Structure 1
Amino acid sequence: MQILIKSSCYSIVAPNMASTRTSSSSDIPIEIVSDDEMALIEAAFALARSSSSSSSSSSFSAIRSSPSPLSITSITLVSKRRISTDIEDTPFHKNKKISTLPPSFLKRFRNNRPLSVTDLTSTEWCPKQMEFSLLLGGQKVNKVMKAGIARHAKLEEEVIKRVEVKVKSQEDYWALKFLNFINGVNQLLFEGLTRELPVIGFAEDIWMVGVIDEIRMPLTKNDHNPILIDTKTRARDTRPAEPQRRNGRLQLMCYKYLWDNLVADDFPSEIFFTYFGLNPQHNLCEGLKLIGADSGFSASTLDDVVRYYRNTCRMLAPAHDQLLLRYEYQKDHSLLGEDKFVYDSEWLKNQIRCCVEFWLGEREATYTPEEERWKCRFCQFGAVCPAFTDGKGTVAHRSQDSNIKEG
């Protein structure tokens, strides 16, 4: 059984980095949560911080408290960052206008932090919903989502034992993620199975993180390519519609993309340290040093852990090209069906590129396609979204079902 390190206490302040970071009077208790939950929490925290530091954020309070056609227009204007082609904006005009374009969503809501795979899949599901989620507050966790989270926790407990470790700095926090990956890979190689494996990588010039549901080694002796699996739970005993399956395929392909990049030793350590403002020579907390020793290596600094992380990745083979999505009925965990599909590199890169352009402010948030507008019946932002009104400001009938995009 794998020992999964769980941080019980985390502060973003490193004691020996006090000159460059704001100090904290006490440690902040945290708990490792699912990728979906973390994306929602991060968006909420980012919104709270930005509301007190940017003039554009002050308009969001008004938008949130009083949705109106003008508010929707404001949201759209805030999200646009394309360079104007107005002649007055050219450098040759004597009355040149000063650009007041707001920072991108990546800068505002994920500054010095990675995008999660959930950020990408949520953007693919509906860019406008993602925009509303960032500007008006994160999506609510409903009963269906909670049931999915509980099911994944149960599957995790079958193969993983959690151990609490106190961490006190950003360097400790990242070292924790790398150590969990190393321990998970060791379990995969010795036992043929691991679950909830964190992956961190640099993809399409963007730092990305994710948590792979399950990885299995093939049963055939001549096949050494790990198989990536994701389990989705459903409130109804029916197979998902194509947009849901497409979104699930995107998620698993992202995991394979990150995994394969790591295996190819494509982890730019120096860029990583610089981007996240980390000190590679930071002395790790004693708990992490002990975990490293128990895992068979001596690590005193974050740089030591990153080197072991890269060495571990070099031992691995690329993930299998065939990926597997499993759909379970939440009521009794019975199998509703499986979706086996082949990795499509070009399709994936196009999807990632479109999503990243939204986060960089290079692409305006679009509404979900007409043929997929059934999604709107399950969206919490239907009351303020023009795509879900009848032209008179009246919201169409809403289903009482839980969010259609089930975990």
Structure 2
Amino acid sequence: MSDDEFGYDFETDDEELLIQLASNAQSTDAVALIAAASTAEKTVAGLKASQEVKAFHERVYPHDALALGPGNKGKAPDVFARGAEQKRAFSSASSAHDPVAYPDLTSALQAIGSVQLPPPTELSDDGEAESEADLSPLQRFRAFPKRPLTVTDLTAGAWCELQYWYTLTQLPGGRRTRTPAMKQGSKVHKKLEDEVHTTVKIEIVQKEDGFALRLWNLVQGLRTLRDTGLTRELEVWGFVDGNLVSGVIDDISYDNPNPDFENELSNQELQPGEGQSMISDYFPPPSSTNKSKGSHRKIFLADVKTRGTLSPISPAIIRPAKIQLLLYHRFLSVMAAGQLDFFKIFRRYGLDADVRFSDTFMSQIGELHDEIFFDSPTSSAEEFREMPTTASQGGEIQDDSRTALESDSAPGTPDLLKYGTLRELLPLVKHEISLTFPRGAESLGHILCVKYVYREDGRELNAHDFPVSPQTLDAYLAGDMSWWRGDRKPKGVAIEEAFKCSTCEFAAGCSWRMGMDQERVKRTQERVNKAKKAVETRF
């Protein structure tokens, strides 16, 4: 076996350097050893396998191979070995008769190994990182770039704050586990929506497309309400303590859920007293200026809840639905009054109001709404498809209908897009809102309704009507937002509402439940001890 077979051509200086390194006795200078090892590594960087190393050492030491210990005579070490083999290669010679000794770099390597990545973040008792534990729920789960608050977030506290805290911290994605009952309820809602709307899939290319689709759905929902008197699944936005909140209203119509109840409230003449609301709080006085704006029809909000049993509905069950509808009514009132800052919403979602929508999105929306094109002899989607093809600068043939949908139209091609960005789409949205609510917030009725339907067949079981109460909503939000801001710990349910725990997946390990049990045991023990003392006193 010759050196030429491996293609190596070592210089005399390189060979002498290797011999000198192998002959050096154990050194106590760790820095010098590291430098020597680095030089040796550069010299033998071309060695690829242990056989190559053996051939090299046979040439350097023709009469005797490197000796690493008893029984190893005639064997060459693998300088690329790792772990235990590497440690043996750099250990001192095991015999005084061995001609070669390797320096021990254990201390030096340990010193290098001690300078590693910073230690992991210290964990708190509950296993959460201290940095996260110090954050409020709002900062931890609903701060940008995570999604903003939803109406569901804010109403969960009306059922059980602690259950929602466990959901956010212990379940994947902070979402409730979908049970068969929940899936069946979703089917009922989908069936109701399909009675009003036809679902069409639209491809989303960029995030601006996604929010534009939500605005187009709002426009279509408002038009459906005006045309048919009913719309479902209408999305609304609002702000609570400066935080964006979104929600979807189940049912909006011109049908008053309880005209007699509204008339009764309207005819009442309440005198203001301590803790008593005026009727004007529920029904703001109409403005003479707004009366001339258009229709006097009022719009009423309702929420649909599904149930799997026919048992009576307690106030504790209705409470979350009440808060939900009160939030919807407030948000829609602000939108109807033209006071919602959509650009603030864009900033919260990280959207650019001037980014052009993708060609794919605009072509699909154009098939549904011809109005995305400017009014011109060639403004409809049908006419765009009939336009002849032309050669582009690159020599390829392309359809001019696609070119017309591009934000940067080719030279000589007019930009026929009417709503190509969020900024351009906003005037249409605001116009549709003003048409639907001609008297602003006064176009909304002040009776809200919760409808309960049977999950199995969708038949209505019960309906609960109640008036709009700003005071009730403000009082609830003040308490709920104090938890979201981290001002206090989440609370569990009161003992009177312990029935909720029977359907809670966290009941077994709920700290609130255990605390309540311990408190009841303590009170019982105190009563027993008090009774014993009373008996002892009498005797």
TM-score between the two structures when normalised by the length of structure 2 = 0.53
Aligned residue number for residue 490 of structure 2: 365
2:375 pairs with 1:302: no
Structure 2 unmatched runs, 5+:
1-119, 260-293, 373-417, 520-539
CA-to-aligned-CA distance 1:224-250 (integer Å, 9 cap, x gap): 221111111101012321111111111
CA-to-aligned-CA distance 1:138-176 (integer Å, 9 cap, x gap): 321111111111100011111111111111222111111
1:144 and 1:346 mapped to 2: Cα distance?
Answer: 34
Match of 2:358 among 285, 289, 301: 285
Aligned residue number for residue 312 of structure 2: 239
Does the 8 Å CA contact 1:203/1:258 hold for their aligned counterparts?
no
1:55 and 1:176 mapped to 2: Cα distance?
Answer: 42
CA-to-aligned-CA distance 1:310-333 (integer Å, 9 cap, x gap): 332233143211011111122232
Instruction: State the shift of 1:356 in Å.
Output: 2.3
1:231 and 1:269 mapped to 2: Cα distance?
Answer: 28
Paired amino acid for 1:114: P
Match of 2:321 among 234, 238, 248: 248
1:208 and 1:110 mapped to 2: Cα distance?
Answer: 10
2:150 pairs with 1:116: yes
Number of aligned residue pairs: give it: 305
Match of 1:214 among 226, 251, 264: 251
Aligned residue number for residue 474 of structure 2: 349
2:481 and 2:187 mapped to 1: Cα distance?
Answer: 30
Paired amino acid for 1:377: S
Instruction: State the shift of 1:391 in Å.
Output: 4.3
Instruction: State the shift of 1:100 in Å.
Output: 9.0
Does the 8 Å CA contact 2:132/2:140 hold for their aligned counterparts?
no
**Percent of paired sites with the same residue:** 28
Aligned residue number for residue 135 of structure 2: 103
2:355 pairs with 1:321: no
Paired amino acid for 2:191: K
Paired amino acid for 1:269: F
Alignment RMSD: 2.7
Match of 2:204 among 142, 167, 178: 167
RCO higher in structure (CA 8 A, sep ≥6): 1
Paired amino acid for 2:352: N
Give 3-state SS (helix, strand or coil) of 1:152's partner.
helix
Aligned residue number for residue 154 of structure 1: 191
1:352 and 1:306 mapped to 2: Cα distance?
Answer: 30
Instruction: State the shift of 1:252 in Å.
Output: 1.1
Structure 1 unmatched runs, 5+:
1-53, 60-69, 79-98, 393-407
2:462 and 2:133 mapped to 1: Cα distance?
Answer: 47
1:128-147 matches, within 5 Å, as 128-137=162-171, 138-147=175-184
Does the 8 Å CA contact 2:307/2:454 hold for their aligned counterparts?
yes
TM-score between the two structures when normalised by the length of structure 1 = 0.69
More strand by share: 1
Instruction: State the shift of 1:187 in Å.
Output: 0.6
Aligned residue number for residue 395 of structure 1: none
Aligned residue number for residue 462 of structure 2: 337
1:40-79 matches, within 5 Å, as 55=121, 71=126
Paired amino acid for 1:302: L
Match of 2:347 among 265, 271, 274: 274
More helix by share: 2
Q: Which one is further off, 315-324 or 140-149? A: 315-324
Give 3-state SS (helix, strand or coil) of 1:165's partner.
coil
